[in-house]
Amino acid sequence: MKFCRSFFPFLVLLIFCSCSKYKIDNSQADIFEFKIDTHRVIVVPAKIGSVVCNLMIDTGSDISVLRKDFAKKIDKSFDSFAISFYGMQGIKIDSVWRAKQDLTIGDFKFPMFDFIKADLNHFTLKNIHGIIGTDILKHCILKLDYSNKKGFFIPFNKFETSKFIKKYEKVKINKNSYITVKLDDRDYKMLIDSGAENLSLDIDNSIQIRDAIQLRKITSKYNYIYSSYNFEGDVRKSNLGFNINKINIKPIIYTTYPFKNFLSQRKREFSCGINFISKLDWIFDYANNYVYILKPDDFSLSFDLSNYKIKEAFSYPKEYGILFLWEKDKNPLQDIFDIKKDDKVFAINQTSYKECIEKFGKNKGYDIFLDVLYSLDFDTITVIRNGKKITLARK
């Protein structure tokens, strides 16, 4: 995801070597259904012991995470391993912990699960207490039915492949969510990351798309749980696209990103997030290393990450509101909130534009605020309408 990436390979290796793994039996659980949205990360209600929480499902993370302030509430509910790690630039990564109490999602119980503690202070993570990684997802079937905006946890004994196998493409996937895609007659590894935003490709000479054209230059920020990096890249378009087995995905619009500059990204070549994943339907079976992808009728999909663009923005300093004019009057907020054309945006998830520019400075604060607005991943937006502040919830 844009604000949380998979953790370092050596971290996962040491964790798995140091822990005795066990098989969890959820055969008596009913299928757990939850809502998903094509514009946002996946969040499910859960409990750790008796403590209620909201957890984000992140197929791009191979170990689970609890936010530090939430972990304090259940301080007596887990044990600590005597393991600490040091990542990029000597940044300490907290010890690995093992919970004493069960993690419960619907009827599913995940006892003795491992996690690390981290700061999750990004805008869109404010109401999220932690992250569910593939270490937990391997104990059930995860189905993401974006066509009907529904997700499911399915017990293995209630998963019948004969009902869907002809409609789905069966693809090998490893525990780190990598599948193989073919581009220009070469095989590459693609990360399926439900916690990321865009489709990104490595630009360190490992991937060259011959028919790609550059649409625009970009300067952006890639946020990790522990640190963040500024990078420069391009938005490009390829009419030939790529193939996942027999599924041909074309055309594609993607962001270039220098994965190999960063330790935790060096094995990546493609990373696909929500803007890509939500165009297809997925069934993840991490226990048997397979993902099933619903075959599009014509094996062709268009992934245009620039459907919505802000043409102009007008700032109103006295009100600390911003009026956004969208190109071709395509305002994506109108599909999600009851927002009107002349509404000035005052706050997102109760965090105001004023707070942003006071904390980060005028230019950086504006960029961060705009970044979150473009993500469409928030629960409330506060607008100024006819001089009054009105908070709008998602439809």
Residue 344 belongs to a domain with what CATH number?
2.30.42
Residue 133 confidence (pLDDT) above 80: yes
Q: Are residues 40 and 53 in the same domain?
A: yes
Q: Are residues 141 and 26 in the same domain?
A: yes
Q: What is the pTM of this model?
A: 0.76
pLDDT at position 59 is 94
What are the tens digits of pLDDT across the range 218-231? 776 555 444 455 66
How far is C-alpha 390 from the geometric centre of its chain's CA atoms? 29
pLDDT at position 39 is 79
Sheet holding 130-132, edge to edge: 78-80, 96-99, 114-118, 64-67, 130-132, 51-57, 42-48, 103-105, 108-110
Whether 150 maps to a domain, the answer reads: yes
Domain containing 354 equals 310-393
How many structural domains are present in the chain? 3
Give the torsion sign (CA, 155, 158, 164, 170): positive
Number of Cβ within a 10 Å radius of residue 170: 14
Q: Are residues 196 and 276 in the same domain?
A: yes
Report the interhelical angle of 362-375 vs 353-360 (nearest 10°).
130
CA dihedral angle for residue 247, residue 249, residue 254, residue 258, rounded to 10 degrees: 30
Buried b (16+ CB within 10 A) or exposed e, 356-386: bbeeeeeeebbebbbbbbebbbbeebbbbee
What are the tens digits of pLDDT across the range 143-194? 999 999 999 999 999 998 777 677 899 999 998 899 999 988 888 889 999 9
pLDDT at position 226 is 42
What 3-state DSSP class applies to 89?
A: helix
Element (DSSP H or E) covering residue 293 = strand 290-294
Residue 382 confidence (pLDDT) above 50: yes
Q: Are residues 268 and 185 in the same domain?
A: yes
pLDDT at position 81 is 67
Q: Are residues 261 and 323 in the same domain?
A: no
Number of Cβ within a 10 Å radius of residue 208: 11
Residue 376 confidence (pLDDT) above 70: yes
Q: Are residues 60 and 129 in the same domain?
A: yes
